[in-house]
Structure 1
Amino acid sequence: MTIWHVRAELRKTALRPLTLLLFALLGVGCVTTAFYAQDYWSGTVQRAHESLRNIESGESYRSCLELNPKLGPEYCTRTGERERQLSEEWVADSREKAAEAARAQTVPGAFGWAAQAFASFPGLVVLVLLAAQSMGGEYDNRTAGNLLLADPRIRAHIGAKAAALWLTTAAALCCAGAAVAVFGLVKGRPDYPLHAFHLPPGEDLLQGLRLVGGALVVTAVWSVVAVALTALARSQAGGIARSGALLVLLMLGSGAAWLWGWLPGGIVADVMAFHPGDVLWNVWWGPEPVSTVPSLLRALPTVLVTALGIWWITRAAERGNEVT
């Protein structure tokens, strides 16, 4: 694989209508979810605080007495305590979600917001489709033979196509992050008061860099795997089926917290700071891994299995695509 090979594949991959359409949809989805999160959670925080203030001021107690005069003060006192507990829980939950939404109102947070979408289920599905079109199209259009006659090393073609797909993905991620940042600065900050939840600049920058870096690693690995599986299947449909099955396999075990933190899907959820119930599409990954073991140690089995898996898939694809 040479830089000229990668450049040729990049021109073909980046300019395909399907590539532009899918990444445009993903970018629009990032902006849409940022809008929904800021709009919903800013209003929810206000309503939760108003409910708690009504209880603390005694307004809820007086309303209870007026509506239930026969039940007496004791009943209203017990009801007020239950309402206070529920309101405090509501405030805590809404503040946590509002802090997540507020990230999209800063530049580093906006890029991190887009990175989470690209490294989650829909982003990986997009890579599956584009990898299948890139490599599988060579077999379906009967042009794979020409590639292999020019260079019989299928690994070189896998590497070039995966590199082109990853570079296109990185460019699309930057565009999506910029779009979310523009929305957050121009529309989000003035209309949705979440300033109290913004992280300090240094912490915000580090978190944004971590998420973007994690997304680049996840999409790089997935690009290689999806392209290699398509080369192994030697068709677009076969590549989609095999990569899709692997993507489903990644999500298995999300219901077992003690195991999920050691599985590849759990490691991705940990690196990308996925949370259950977020407005991002990472809900498919399940909850965050719950483990006292450091992330780096838990990631070692995943790294080894991934490296061995890529090696085996490329070897199998090379044997199945030998030019005789």
Structure 2
Amino acid sequence: MTPGQATARASTSFEVALPNQFYLGYSSAAPLTLTVTAPPTATGGHIVYRLSDDDGGHLYRLAAQAGAVPEDISAALDDLSPGTDDEFLNISPDGRWLLLSTDRFGCTGWPCLALATSGLTATEVISANGAVLHADGFSAVASGGDLVVYPSGDGPHGSDLWAVTRDGGRWLTPTLLTSNSPYTYNAQPALSADGRRVAFDCGDEPYAGAGTALCEVQTDGSGFRVLLTPDQGPGGSDSNALHHPDYAPDGGLVFEADWNGEQIWRLPPGSASLPQLVAAQFSNDNSPCVLPDGRIVSLWLERPGNPSGQHEIKVMAADGSASTMVLTGVDVADGGIGCGR
């Protein structure tokens, strides 16, 4: 059985009290010749992702350590409600909640946002004011499961971020977060551990095209700011792009930039901070997320022995000094990966 096909359950799960509405049941030149260093010290954490359509398009959860067996979330959900279109999966920082866009649970024909407990013992379609919510791309759920941030074309821009919160078991009217953004497209949200801030891609081209910057806003819609633009990097210009930010435990950001090929960078906390390259030895390294202990997960395409350039999952220390491959031989869809406890 290949790693992408495994269906064994992860060894760690959480159960929580549930509200009543829950329902049971570039590729560049030739690959680098290098030796991946000793594995970083693992202190737990999970990664969630979707495989490419060529590899089945299922959603998975994987413990962030070498030798872990992926858990096929799509197959597990089939026992609750069959479906054919699982668009993405994300995990809350505390690891207790899973957020997905799916055509299950009555959303046939138009995938909608759904929330599940970590143990998959209960699921809920997110509905506000009597209408289910549809996301235009990768979305995020806060620790505690009572806040979701998602992109939608319903705002004043081509794509805006919205926050929907749950109070007393009821989802409230979504709040527009990016009304003050000067950019046309605002997407790819990542929530801070305390749920108060969201970092995201912001640019005038979709899908993190040229000129895409990194922005941040409070989850109540206040305090919008541009964190970093592509011309602020080494040799950067508006033809470069920044992508897929996530918060580090110290409040800094980890993200992808193409200043010298696609690599993983870090923006330390502080308004005067300059971006720092995390690991110069890795190129064609994409879409990072950060585990609770600070380790960085990314999609690396240039592992020796990966001649076809599949998006494989690498975990490295926060400073890039040690790394290990945790998923190889399958192609992860590069639409968003998530990290949680």
TM bucket (normalised to shorter chain) is under 0.3
Q: Which has the higher contact order (CA 8 A, sep 6+)?
A: 1
More helix by share: 1
Q: TM-score, normalised by structure 1?
A: 0.20
Q: TM-score, normalised by structure 2?
A: 0.20
The structure number with the bigger radius of gyration is: 1
More strand by share: 2
